Chains A and B, each alone.
Chain A
Amino acid sequence: MREIEAKKISNTIKDLCIQANYELSEDVLKALKGALKQERSANGKEVINQLINNAEIAKKERYPICQDTGLAIVFIELGQDVHINGDLIKAVQEGVAKGYTEGYLRRSVVGHPFNRKNTNDNTPAVIHTEIVPGDKIKITFMAKGGGCENVSRYQMFKPTASKEEIEKFALETVDQAGAAPCPPIIIGIGIGGNLEKSGLLAKKALLREVGKPSNDKDTANMEKELLIKINKLGIGPEGLGGVVTALAVHIDTAPCHIASLPVTVNIDCHAHRVKEVTL
């Protein structure tokens, strides 16, 4: 049994909050540079140039990439041969609180949906834990902005629904979202599972390296085709018109009930703040 101090987890989370919000990931930067070559609209190019410039200012001069520093989402894959000395959940929340306060990040969480009183340290984070074989802990941190989460959608399809119907739903979702989620966006789609599994599948699909195709050949083809169709919508960077509306489409599937075909389309903005560490 490997021992890991809760404090170590807390410090790791704190660092991830700060790193994710100040340093645009290499995969996103690479995708933006690719988009710049592809984009034909002058406004679209201008936006992408600003975003690349913005990432440099953020990193060098220490300003968060975006003022919406997000709701903290923490995915933990906990090896079953690990023993944590201390309270895991408390450690995660403390790490988020420290990261957001000491890192000068915006506190964007209210304690109740109706009284809307700010919790002042961006907690609670949404935490997803999973027990896996081994003696390591993999922590993936995501800072998820409100604008792109707001336009994400879920629908229960008939089990006989075609792939085309699901594609149409994804296209409609992106089209209706327009400029709101800050395109060029990254799209995570969860197909299958049940109500809660579908949402989690979509969110986890976003965690994949930007543009890395699914391991499943058919799914990878669907990702590729859907990306082409989405970019034909013409929404473009910041919705000003252009050929790059999305940087990537990631799809994950799961088994489901014979009566069901749940689908979630989760959209992420171009800041796409995802960082992971294995302890």
Chain B
Amino acid sequence: MEKKIDLPLDKKTVASLRSGDKVLLTGTIYTARDAAHKRLVAEIKKPPLNLKDQVIYYCGPTPAMPGRVIGSAGPTTSVRMDGFTAPLIKAGVLGFIGKGKRSEEIRALMKKNKIIYFVATGGAGALLAKHIRSARVVAYPDLGPEAIYELKVVDLPVIVANDIKGKDIFEEGVRKYRKK
């Protein structure tokens, strides 16, 4: 069964989620990938958007066709953002959406700060785009696909990868199916 969650997140909701939970997210999320992270962290004292309680989606969408709100919009590899994650957590971000495992350091940091990490299916950008109702650039338009977009999503399908207890879906999943 999927859990429906309205954004913004709050600490109680975050605490209720467990690694492996299937979640449908509805509300506002913000995209940011490598180049946006670099700038955001450089300007973290005066960020171009309020990060408190927000969810960051590691995504650089394709351009929208005329009459559409967005193009394909799936997640990119999260681990590349690990070096920029601590300042964002400090600025109040409560959750991240991406793909793939995080470093041990970031997992420990997320556990300590009670941050949730979701994964969306990498390479399912068309399917995920259908859950996006609006998109507008809110920072760094010169970065093109790497600009920060504010997305309004409805029932965006994600899975909890790391919960506040420190459980990790990748380690558990792989352990279960690994054969010597």
Contacts and interface: CB of A to CB of B under 8 A. Distances in A.
Interface of A: 40-41, 43, 46-47, 50-51, 53-55, 57-58, 61-69, 104-108, 116, 118, 120, 146-147, 150, 178-180, 182, 232-236, 238-243, 269-271
A115 to B, nearest CB: 12
B111 interface: no
B61 interface: yes
A60 to B, nearest CB: 9
Contacts of B79: 180
Nearest to B176: A241
Given A63-B72, A67-B60, A67-B62, A50 B124 contact: yes
A241 B126 contact: no
A58 B72 contact: yes
Contacts of B101: 178-179, 239
Interface centre among B63, B145, B169, B174 (most CB of A within 10 A): B174
Contacts of A270: 123
A137 B83 CA distance: 46
B45 interface: no
Interface centre among A50, A54, A58, A63 (most CB of B within 10 A): A63
A243 B177 contact: yes
Contacts of A116: 35
Interface in B110-137: 119, 121-127, 129-130
Given A179-B100, A239-B173, A241-B177, 9 more contacts: A63-B129, A67-B73, A67-B125, A67-B145, A68-B125, A104-B71, A106-B71, A180-B99, A236-B174
Contact of A64 (B60, B126, B176): B126
A239 B175 CA distance: 11
A120 B180 CA distance: 47
B74 interface: yes
B127 A53 contact: yes
A41 B62 contact: no
A41 B63 contact: no
B64 interface: yes
A180 B100 contact: yes
A256 B35 CA distance: 41
Interface string B54-88: 00000111111100000111101101000000000
B15 to A, nearest CB: 23
Task: Give the bracket for the number of chain B residues in contact with chain A.
Answer: 35 or more
A54 B124 contact: yes
18 contacts: A40-B177, A63-B129, A64-B72, A66-B74, A66-B124, A67-B62, A68-B125, A69-B72, A106-B145, A147-B77, A178-B101, A179-B77, A179-B100, A179-B170, A234-B179, A236-B174, A239-B170, A239-B173
A150 B77 contact: yes
A108 B33 CA distance: 12
Contacts of B126: 54-55, 57-58, 61, 63-65
Contacts of A51: 121, 123-124
A51 to B, nearest CB: 6
Given A43-B173, A241-B172, A54 B123 contact: yes
